[in-house]
Every structure is written in C-alpha cells, then in structure tokens.
C-alpha cells in the first residue's frame, strides 16, 4: 500500500499518518520530519535547509528528492509506505512517476485557513519522535509532556503566525498544479484520488480514511 497525504500546513497530515501507519504497518515518511532532524546538526546542509524552513518556503526540489529517494530505498518500504508532505510540487511528483514509483492512494485533506490558524497556534510536538499534540484538540496526558517518553514538548520554530502565512501562501500556490496532476493521474493510471473533509474531529477523519483504505 503506497499512500500520499496532501494538505495545507496544519491540515492533519502528521496526525492521520500516525493512525494509518499503525493500522496498516507501513512506515511514515515525513519530509518535514526528515528536514527537522537534519536541522539539529551543525552542517552546511543544515544551514542551507534553515534558510528556507525559517521563512516557511519550500526547500529546493533536488535537495528534498535526494533525501526521499534514500529513504524509500530502505527495506521497510518494500511492502508500502505513507508519504506525508512529499511531493509538494509537480516536479517532485513527476520525479516519482519517472522513477516508476507506483502510488495507490492520494488523499487531499481539506481544511480552510481560518481553522488552520488555531491548530498551528496550539500545536506542541515531541521533536525526537515527531509525535504531535494540541493543547485543546489533542492534549498530552500531562501538560507539555510527551505521553511516551516524558520529555518536554516544544513549539515548532515555523509555527509563528508570520511564517505560517508564508507556508499557507506556498501551499496554495504550488498545490493547485499538484492536485491537477493527481486528478489527471487518477484518470489515466490506477491511482485512487480522494478529497477528505479535514475539519471533522481527529477520529472522524481517521474513520473516513480507513473506510476507504480497508
């Protein structure tokens, strides 16, 4: 099972990825998490990535493609994978197509921008694992503490309102073409493309997705 989750920042891609990967025993490949783990290093690459992520704009296609390519080649991806945040441009999507990487399902999670702002303001994450919480909608058992490790939770560096505006702008600008790309692929190839109402509660969105995938 090879799945792509598309959706604006804060639409719930990371949250739903956790459910799906647990249910279907496939790895989650999150481009954002791969990039954030590199940011922790003191390297030329990390400095390059920071220049883009700190402004909420997409990193160059060739950079993210080489990172994802390495990840997809690992053995745990043989029986499938879920891509969270990749592809983000038609160039990235075309790269996968040209490489013969077959995709079974593409979901576009739809959430309006005004709902997204509240989600981003209240988001807290556990950096090492990528676990995602929300102070109101998905709170940890103990205030600001990761349920599994007991580590403190953090606010993502790009979850500031001015950076969020850039991220939303980037998403709306680039996703139009990407959505068209997959709509077309669903007609000519065997890719199943679905739009999902992401404004429902977390478990309801999960049910919408698993009803299709089951």
Measured over the CA atoms of residue 95, residue 98, residue 104 and residue 109, the dihedral's sign is positive
7 touches which of Mg ion, ligand AP5, none (CB within 5 to 8 A by kind)? Answer: ligand AP5
CA 147 to chain centre: 21
Q: Smallest distance, Å, CB 129 to Mg ion? A: 13
In terms of CB distance, is 171 or 193 closer to ligand AP5? Answer: 171
32-39 CB contacts, 8 Å cutoff, 24+ apart: 32/84, 32/85, 33/84, 33/130, 34/67, 34/68, 34/71, 35/59, 35/64, 35/67, 36/127, 36/130, 36/156, 38/67
Q: Smallest distance, Å, CB 160 to ligand AP5? A: 12
Pick from 105, 88, 91: nearest CA to 185: 105
Question: What x-and-dash track marks residues 71-90 binding ligand AP5 by CB under 6 A?
Answer: --------------xxxx--
For tokens 């959505």, name the residue: 179
Q: Smallest distance, Å, CB 12 to Mg ion? A: 8
Enumerate residues 143-182 that contact ligand AP5 by CB under 6 A: 158, 167
Query: Applying CB under 6 A, which of residues 134, 178, 191, 196 lies at the interface with ligand AP5?
Result: 134
Which residues belong to the active site? 13, 88, 123, 156, 167
Q: Which residues bind ligand AP5 (CB under 6 A)?
A: 7, 9-15, 31-32, 35, 52-53, 56-59, 64, 85-88, 92, 119, 122-123, 132-134, 137-138, 158, 167, 198, 201-202, 205
């Amino acid at each position: 099972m090879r799945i792509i989750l598309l959706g604006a920042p804060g639409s719930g891609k990371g949250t739903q990825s956790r459910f799906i990967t647990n249910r279907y025993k496939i790895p989650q490949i999150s481009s954002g998490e791969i990039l954030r783990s590199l940011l922790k290093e003191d390297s030329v690459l990390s400095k390059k990535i920071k220049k883009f992520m700190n402004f909420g704009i997409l990193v160059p296609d060739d950079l993210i493609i080489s990172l994802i390519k390495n990840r997809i080649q690992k053995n745990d991806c043989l029986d499938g994978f879920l891509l969270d945040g990749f592809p983000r441009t038609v160039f990235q999507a075309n790269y996968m197509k040209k490489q013969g990487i077959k995709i079974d399902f593409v979901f576009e999670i739809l959430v309006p921008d005004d709902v997204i702002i509240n989600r981003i303001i209240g988001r807290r994450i556990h950096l090492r694992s990528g676990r995602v919480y929300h102070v109101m909608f998905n709170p940890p058992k103990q205030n600001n503490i990761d349920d599994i490790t007991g580590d403190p939770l953090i606010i993502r560096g790009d979850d500031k309102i001015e950076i969020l505006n850039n991220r939303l702008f980037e998403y709306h600008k680039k996703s139009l073409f990407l959505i068209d790309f997959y709509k077309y692929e669903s007609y000519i190839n065997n890719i199943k493309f679905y739009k999902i109402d992401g404004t429902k509660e977390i478990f309801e969105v999960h049910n919408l997705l698993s009803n299709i995938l089951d």
